[in-house]
């Protein structure tokens, strides 16, 4: 397997990405080549500092970096030699089979969509994010690639999420639900109601609507929503987690008695931190494109980069992209029967 890592766009600079990549390489003997894409001088210095001399590493120089300030829509055209674009080029040129990047999400979606194109069967890409619940985890998609969706897009997200959860979480029959404001079928929006109708017709373990309070109850493996709602939910969960941790820390250090109590119970906090830690879950793939693209968090550190590499190897072994192409094509066929008469009667 050949994998490319854009080491430049992270919040903590290239060193953590380089070290994470080196750990990932150590842990995965199936990798035959790992391309580190970015400033050659910095990468060479970083590898020396990490004492990494693995011969499977190639450095691919790129002179620019896409930052959070760059407008994702024009970035690819303006910064042709940025590390993210170069890393995607490697996939396009079949020099690597997957790209991992910590950079600007909007830029990654735009550049990867433009350079790799979508799978024949898929109309819009979706970011599949794994969310830990403490007891278990679920896949939410779309996390922000396609803010406004048609019903068919949501159907395709459901099928992509099904394949991803089956192969990556090992669920035999992943439970799939559409996120809504109530469980009754009359709830939701025009788009979700039509998506509900379509999802019932395809070969999924489909629960219908799920609500915000169900998703932390281990009732569902794949939560389907548009990229607008998905992104809001992701960031709300992230924000609430950070806020709650801060609150807990402040309360537990407010006086010596509480500090002592917290010290005695520290194993409990550590176990929760471990269970809830997004670092454990590596990256979030951008599904539906003609190539494997994995977004890691901008603030990702070594361990998360390593996990993202391992996850990418698993995804390649399981041929996720190929399986998505086939499964979505099948779902489209079934859905076509439902969509056409409805469209015909609507225009009549």
For 222, the enclosing helix (H) or strand (E) is strand 222-224
Of 27, 48, 248, 336, the one binding its own copies (CB under 8 A) is 248
**Should residue 213 be labelled a site residue for its own copies when binding is judged by CB under 8 A?**
yes
Q: 135-154 mask for its own copies (x: CB under 8 A)?
A: x--------x--xx------
CA-to-CA distance for 250 and 278, rounded, in angstroms?
Answer: 22
255/333 with CB nearer its own copies: 255
Point out which span in 17-25, 46-54, 119-127, 258-266 binds its own copies (CB under 8 A).
Answer: 258-266
47/152 with CB nearer its own copies: 152
Pairing assessment for the beta strands 222-224 and 137-141 based on DSSP bridges: parallel
**Should residue 272 be labelled a site residue for its own copies when binding is judged by CB under 8 A?**
yes
Of 50, 52, 169, 262, the one binding its own copies (CB under 8 A) is 262
CA-to-CA distance for 201 and 100, rounded, in angstroms?
Answer: 35
Beta strand extents in 26-167 (DSSP E only): 33-38, 57-61, 98-101, 126-127, 129-132, 137-141
Q: 163-202 mask for its own copies (x: CB under 8 A)?
A: ----------------xxxx---xxxxx------------
**Should residue 343 be labelled a site residue for its own copies when binding is judged by CB under 8 A?**
no
- For residues 249-270, b (16+ Cβ closer than 10 Å) or e, as one string? eeebeeeeeeeeebeeeeeeee
Asked whether the CA dihedral 164, 166, 171, 176 is positive or negative, the reply is positive
Residue ranges in contact with its own copies by CB under 8 A: 71, 73, 106, 133-135, 144, 147-148, 179-182, 186-190, 211-217, 225, 227-229, 231-244, 246-248, 251-252, 254-255, 257-258, 260-269, 271-272, 275-276
């Amino acid at each position: 397997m050949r994998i490319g890592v854009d080491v430049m766009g992270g919040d903590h600079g290239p060193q953590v990405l380089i070290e994470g990549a080196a750990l990932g390489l150590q842990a995965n003997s199936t990798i035959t080549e790992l391309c580190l894409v970015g400033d050659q001088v910095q990468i060479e210095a970083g590898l020396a500092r990490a004492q990494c001399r693995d011969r499977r590493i190639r450095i691919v120089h790129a002179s620019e970096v896409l930052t959070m300030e760059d407008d994702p829509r024009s970035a690819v055209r303006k910064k042709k030699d940025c590390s993210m674009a170069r890393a995607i080029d490697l996939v396009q040129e079949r020099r690597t089979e997957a790209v991992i990047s910590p950079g600007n999400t909007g830029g990654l979606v735009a550049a990867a969509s433009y350079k790799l194109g979508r799978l024949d069967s898929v109309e819009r890409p979706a970011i599949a994010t794994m969310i830990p619940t403490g007891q278990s985890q679920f896949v939410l998609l779309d996390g922000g690639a396609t803010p406004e969706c048609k019903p068919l897009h949501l159907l395709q997200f459901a099928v992509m999420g099904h394949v991803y959860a089956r192969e990556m979480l090992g669920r035999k029959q992943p439970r799939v639900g559409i996120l809504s404001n109530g469980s009754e079928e009359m709830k939701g929006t025009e788009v979700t109601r039509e998506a509900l109708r379509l999802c019932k017709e395809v070969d999924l373990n489909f629960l219908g609507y799920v609500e915000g309070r169900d998703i932390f109850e281990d009732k569902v493996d794949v939560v389907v929503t548009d990229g607008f709602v998905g992104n809001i939910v992701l960031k709300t969960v992230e924000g609430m987690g950070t806020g709650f941790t801060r609150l807990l820390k402040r309360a537990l250090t407010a006086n010596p008695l509480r500090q002592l109590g917290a010290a005695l119970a520290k194993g409990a906090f550590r176990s929760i931190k471990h269970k809830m830690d997004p670092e454990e879950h590596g990256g979030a793939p951008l599904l539906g494109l003609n190539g494997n693209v994995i977004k890691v968090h901008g603030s990702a550190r070594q361990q998360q980069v390593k996990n993202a590499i391992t996850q990418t190897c698993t995804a390649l072994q399981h041929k996720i992209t190929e399986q998505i192409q086939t499964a979505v094509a099948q779902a489209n066929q079934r859905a076509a029967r439902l969509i056409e008469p409805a469209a015909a009667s609507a225009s009549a």
